[in-house]
Amino acid sequence: MIDLRADANAQARTGVTPLFVARCPGHVKVLLEKRADMQKHFAMNGIASLASTETALALLESRCDPTDIGEAKYGPLHALALYSRSNRYAVETAKLLLQYRAGTNLADDVDLCSVLPTDVQLVLLPFVQFSLEKARELRNAVQSHQVRILEDMLLEPADPNMAEDPASHPLLVAASEGHEEITRLLLEAGSALHAAGTCTTLCAACYLGHAEVVSLLLEAGAEKDEMRADGTPLTWAAGGPSDRQKETVEVLLQSRADVNKVDGALHTPLTASVEFGRSEVVKILLSASAETSVLCPGTEQSPLCLASERGDVQTLHVLLEAGVDKDEISARRTPLTSAVAAGEREAVQALSEAGANLNKVDGEFYTPLTRAFWGDHHNILSLLLSANADVDLVCPWTSQTPLCNAARTGRVGMVRLLLLAGAALERRSLGSTPLTLAASAGHVEIVRLLIIAGAALDRVDRWRYTALHRARQRNHHEVTRLLLLAETTAV
């Protein structure tokens, strides 16, 4: 028939091809020489079910892939199982197919039928009991991404949950390493989703930013909102160190993870992302309606206060663009006084440009200016003054103006900045003027600056003392000489 140029791929009314019904190696060889299609009606199924083992081998050696079943609903192992009672080669052919890694899994909707009477028996195979050394081999295969070695061990069949300790659980190791193919193999082999330990496989994959592995675990039934003492999958993803945290968070949100769920450490995904400086994640969470009024655990700060204190300008801008309250007090500070106290000049500038109140008193009774003063942040003080902060605003905590505070404590640089900004020279604080305070404390350079700026030498404090009286009273001889010289010059 072949010599007469018959079509090697002709199909019978049932759809089968000549190669499908080949029953000896010679048939296979001749048909393949005439370019018979191995995939048509998936010929391997027909040969495996009724032909000899040698016939199946001939097709396999011709590079027929027993795992690539095309449009067929099941593979050669399942076809062989259906006709095993009438095929005396069934056992040897099954071994051969397994050597060539034929698939053993079936989809749930496959309808298997046979023209012959068939008994179906469910056989549950126990896992092979492996030694501790074998458990290490399994872990090493997982860790080093040795797919073929792992497949061979699982076909024995090795227990996919076998581990020396919880931290060595194969699925946990695979998830942590981001091995997508290894993870899929372990899940197909029945690996448990929850390793006994503090970190689940899903949380580990989320923290390390392995988005593809996270998708696999969620598809396998991992709990997207699982509460752990140290986090939920979303809080782990939001605060992780990987450059791929954004994709991982998006995968969890697409699976409808709770964007506002509080974990065992009292973190929400938003506070975790702010605390660890993940501005891109913050943006995604805010677009998913994350609650901005939550406070960060431990510090009790609002997300904006925390970002300001840490100088995280990118996150700060994201939060401001989302419309958060730029003057809200949390942990007794405003975002601005938090940034000033931490010496974060760029954060101070960003808040100032966003319209934050430069004169708002925080919960500890400090203004932004006095925070800068006590922190000796000259550059921030200069920035606030250039942004028109009130140079003479009395600090409720000290009941003194910035100039009186600086004069009393000997901060020469601060006095110079305040004088350049037009600070009032004669304004009393707690009954004293800047000059009497500086003279009483013996700060020669500050007394000189105040005299040059035009401070009145005869101005008295509430106790009717002039600066000269205060200097003499405290035996500050250099200050006394300076004031006497100034009086003489003035006359």
Q: Domain ranges in the chain? A: 1-60, 317-387, 391-490
- Topology alike, domains 317-387 and 391-490: yes
How many beta carbons lie within 10 A of that of residue 164, not counting itself?
A: 13
- For residue 405, the Cα-to-chain-centroid distance in whole angstroms is 45
Counting residues of the chain whose pLDDT is more than 70, the rounded percentage is 88
Q: Which pLDDT belongs to residue 227? A: 83
Q: Considering only CA atoms, which of 84, 93, 70 is closest in space to residue 112?
A: 84
Residue type for position 88: R
CA distance 310 to 354: 18
Question: How distant, in Å, are the alpha carbons of 119, 245, 257, 332, 387 from that of 235?
Answer: 52, 11, 10, 26, 38
Can you tell me which residue has the tokens 């840490």?
310
Tokens of 127: 């896992």
CA distance 287 to 272: 16
CA distance 114 to 91: 18
- Write the CATH number of the domain with boundaries 391-490: 1.25.40.20
Tell me: the pLDDT tens digits for 394-432?
989 889 999 999 999 999 999 999 999 999 999 998 899
CA distance 100 to 362: 73
Q: Which pLDDT belongs to residue 433? A: 95
User: Which H or E run contains 376?
Assistant: none
Contact 236, 271 (CB under 8 A): no
Q: Which pLDDT belongs to residue 97? A: 82
Q: Which pLDDT belongs to residue 419? A: 97
Residue type for position 347: A
**3-class secondary-structure state, position 59:** helix
Mean pLDDT by 10 residues, the chain (491 residues): 63 74 81 75 74 84 75 73 74 82 61 53 62 86 91 84 85 94 91 69 94 95 85 93 93 96 88 94 96 88 96 97 96 97 98 98 95 95 97 92 95 97 93 96 98 95 94 96 90 54
- Write the CATH number of the domain with boundaries 317-387: 1.25.40.20
Tokens of 53: 């083992």
Contacts (Cβ under 8 Å, ≥6 apart) of 112? 74, 78, 82, 106
Tell me: the pLDDT tens digits for 285-326?
999 999 998 898 888 999 999 999 999 999 999 999 999 999
Q: Which pLDDT belongs to residue 198? A: 52
